[in-house]
Chains A and B, each alone.
Chain A
């Protein structure tokens, strides 16, 4: 109050400067505190990300390697019980397991008796017979030959063998006899962890050692192609119309409010909508990428419309006026001038929308894409699942070896998300123009 009254005394300003100095100190302190709050918030966020990454990578890195056993195989048609490898019917009925079973007996000849032999064969993955079949079909010249080949070990053996290094071996699913055999194989160098190629080339499996992520990657790819092909053009067209052509009235306000509301609707609702419209009304088959893409289009459309409108708004009016002034029609002005300038912003929005769609499971639950699908989808109408669903399914499986698979699948999904977001940032930096 004293400041506003002009004072007749000369001594007053001295007092004022003292209070100002004192308050200045306080204000500097407040400023520093404020900055530290911000830094603490960022540090907290980074720490959370760090903990997430350390946890996932420490659990998941093991899945990129898997235990193999080197088995001598004799590709002998007699033990297969067939006389030609060119007859598909004979191939289907052949006793493929006999190849690795006799190899295992050769490797560990002291196993005798029915129950011991069964334990011996359980060291090897039960898919090994099929792997040998595929190998022989691809290389018919191997008939009658012998070779030493690294076969997949069973998931229980894999879990045990990997846990040996951690100092606390997990022995609940292996017998003492099997442990003795593994020690023997380890001493002779016939058991080792090798690069897990299957993880990147195969579809889902209920046997952890045979399960791969490729089916889900392809499913995600097909689904996102449909989502992008539909949501980007529709979203951009809607944004251009609303921003450049539509009159401002109650009706367009109403549309705008609805679009903003749709962006905030929980994604499961879009799944229910998809179930009602696409499956029940249009009779689209369940579980296919085409259907998943349609549902995710509904979900990402609002995001793309909103970001595209923001990008169009950011184009300065002077550009439009200049184009119109040069005699361009409104349509030419939009297509030749506004759209190219707004495109980087629109693409960024679209990529972020796609990244969001890539991580979505809830709407897919309703339309049958949360399913066990082994075959790798080859097109838009083959049953498929997607990456986050694969993570969910593995996290829910009882087998111990799926724990590391789950984390490894999360790593793959995160790699895709990071790549997509980096592309979005790169496009913005590279193409964006500032006024």
Chain B
């Protein structure tokens, strides 16, 4: 008993000692797992060239990152959060209520979401429209009389006779993923609103419209394959008739195994995503706490590294990792925002 008492007081002492060292000199970054592969490259470069501590980056997902970020100001809260969507109005309000008043918003580039299949068989890539994707993957689709019915399609050829006569089988991320949110918003909703009855619904009942357009079928045609995009690539290789949904950088790295389907006739390439002709792409952001600048050493240097041309420019090292850069004018404007540390005004049209 004496012994365990002794050791429990040792733990208490260790805890006290550690809370005394909580003023930190490492930049803490949380947020989106889509931005993670890019932010980590910048962090590593910055760490090596500055000679100081390399920033620490956790992939918590966009929502989880913003929640941590908005919890407060001080050494125990992260300095930067990465996000694969814009901050929501509710999150902005949470930040404000916790004293995180000045937030600097930086858009860093785009990420394309690709729908790919294995190219082992030598088959040509599919040419899909967003309408066909919606018909293939939504839980409810308009039937022959315009009424919503449970999705009856089981083969691609039932949707469009030009598509292959193979079962609809799509591997994609689970609902917790930002990629899934973006896919639902850009691809499914994009196809969904081409139906007049549904786009009319948008005006009358916005909630019902969102449910119809964003709900993915649960009868086995859409297979949740976890957050690991490499796993989806492997599964596509094993199953040539299946399609997979993942980020552009994985297509870029595995061009010998998988090929991206054309969406409305546009192939997912670096250039087509950059000029926005490829319809399923989303913006990537990071958010910085202004109150931490000057307190956590190196924060401003990290921002300067991220917004330098050698990083996020068209010839920069982030482009080489598969991030699609912003147009030149937007990059200049944002670099100025970062240089002057201009926070969000609160007047931005947030969702």
Contact = CB atoms under 8 A, between A and B. Distances in A.
User: Residue among B24, B40, B47, B229 with the most chain A CB within 10 A?
Assistant: B40
Contacts of B8: 234
A287 B7 contact: no
A149 B223 CA distance: 50
B170 interface: no
A398 B48 CA distance: 22
Interface string A376-416: 00000101000000000001111110010000000000000
Contacts of B249: 398
Contacts of A92: 49-51
B21 to A, nearest CB: 5
A317 to B, nearest CB: 22
A287 B59 CA distance: 13
Nearest to A159: B253
B28 interface: yes
A288 to B, nearest CB: 7
A285 B53 contact: no
A283 B1 contact: no
Contacts of B33: 396
Interface string A188-215: 0000000000000000011100000000
A241 B22 contact: no
A310 interface: no
B43 A372 contact: yes
Nearest to B15: A282
A396 B228 CA distance: 6
A142 to B, nearest CB: 20
B54 A374 contact: yes
B250 interface: yes
B58 A370 contact: yes
Contacts of B44: 205-207, 374
A370 B253 contact: no
Contacts, number: 117
A381 B21 contact: yes
Interface string A130-155: 10000000000000000000000000
Contacts of A290: 14, 18
B43 A285 contact: no
B202 interface: no
Contact of B250 (A130, A206, A398): A398
B7 A237 contact: yes
Contacts of A371: 56-59
A241 B3 CA distance: 10
Interface string A359-376: 000000000101111110
Nearest to A88: B51
B230 A381 contact: no
B41 interface: yes
Contact of A283 (B3, B76, B317, B321): B76
Given A285-B76, A395-B230, A398-B322, A206 B3 contact: no
Interface string B82-123: 000000000000000000000000000000000000000000
Contacts of A126: 317
A291 B253 CA distance: 36
Nearest to B53: A375
A230 interface: yes
Size bin of chain B's contact surface: 35 or more
A355 interface: no
A284 interface: yes
A375 B1 contact: no
Contacts of B47: 374-375
Contacts of A245: 1
A53 interface: no
A234 B174 CA distance: 41
Contacts of B256: 170-172
Contacts of B14: 290
A103 interface: no
A284 B58 contact: no
B253 A173 contact: yes
A291 B17 CA distance: 12
B252 A398 contact: yes
B34 to A, nearest CB: 11
B58 A234 contact: no
B57 A285 contact: no
Interface string A286-312: 111011001000000000000000000
A282 B19 contact: yes
A288 B17 CA distance: 13
A67 B249 CA distance: 23
Interface string B248-284: 0110111110000000000000000000000000000
Interface in B22-64: 22, 24, 26, 28, 33, 36-37, 40-41, 43-44, 47-51, 53-54, 56-59
A173 B321 CA distance: 11
B1 A241 contact: yes
B58 A233 contact: no
A148 B102 CA distance: 53
Given A170-B256, A241-B4, A398-B250, A372 B11 contact: no
A374 B43 contact: yes
B230 A285 contact: no
A268 interface: no
B40 A206 contact: yes
A153 B201 CA distance: 57
B337 to A, nearest CB: 26
A233 B48 CA distance: 41
A280 to B, nearest CB: 9
A278 interface: yes
A47 B47 CA distance: 45
Contacts of B24: 285
6 nearest A-B residue pairs (beta carbon)? A172-B255, A374-B54, A237-B4, A372-B57, A371-B58, A237-B3
19 contacts: A170-B256, A206-B40, A230-B7, A237-B7, A241-B1, A245-B1, A285-B18, A285-B22, A285-B75, A290-B14, A291-B18, A294-B11, A372-B58, A381-B21, A395-B230, A396-B230, A398-B37, A398-B229, A398-B253
Given A245-B1, A398-B229, 14 more contacts: A171-B256, A241-B4, A282-B18, A284-B18, A284-B22, A285-B24, A285-B76, A286-B28, A286-B76, A370-B58, A371-B56, A374-B54, A396-B228, A398-B253
